[in-house]
Amino acid sequence: MRGLAYFCIVSAAVYGLAGMAFGMVMAASHDHTLMTAHAHLNLMGWVSMAIYGLYYHSVPAAAETRLAKIHVGVTTLGLWIMIPGVAMAVLGMTEGPAIAGSLLTILGMLLFAARVATGHRVVA
């Protein structure tokens, strides 16, 4: 495994470890206020990135396209903005980053859907 698939799988593992650590801190402190941010980190970071990585590993021609690279970049940026943004929203600070990150993450999923829908054809 190499390239985009490798990046996605390694990212998924890092997000999974971060999500587990986040959960352990919440459990140890008995403060589950940020469980929504924890859940988003696990689902969007660990699960979605792992699925993206497995897809790009299974369809290596798809991983070589510009669309795939844009997909992973947009998704990664969205996650980096969304997770702290959700925490900030839960803490009553601001909802702006959660909204912006969520929109980027949704755009990332749309790009992935477009990449999958084009099948094995190599597109821009």
- Identify the weakest region by mean pLDDT among 7-11, 37-41, 100-104, 116-120: 116-120
CA distance 60 to 50: 15
Mean pLDDT of the chain: 93
pLDDT score recorded for residue 121 = 57
CA distance 42 to 115: 23
pTM, two decimals, is 0.88
CA distance 102 to 96: 10
Please give the radius of gyration of the chain, using alpha carbons only, rounded to the nearest integer.
15
Q: Where are the alpha helices (DSSP H) in the chain?
A: 3-29, 35-40, 49-58, 60-63, 66-90, 96-117
Residue with tokens 């390694």: 10
pLDDT in tens, 19-53: 999 999 999 999 999 999 999 999 999 999 999 99
CA of 50: how far to CAs of 59, 89, 99, 116, in Å? 14, 26, 23, 15
DSSP 122: -
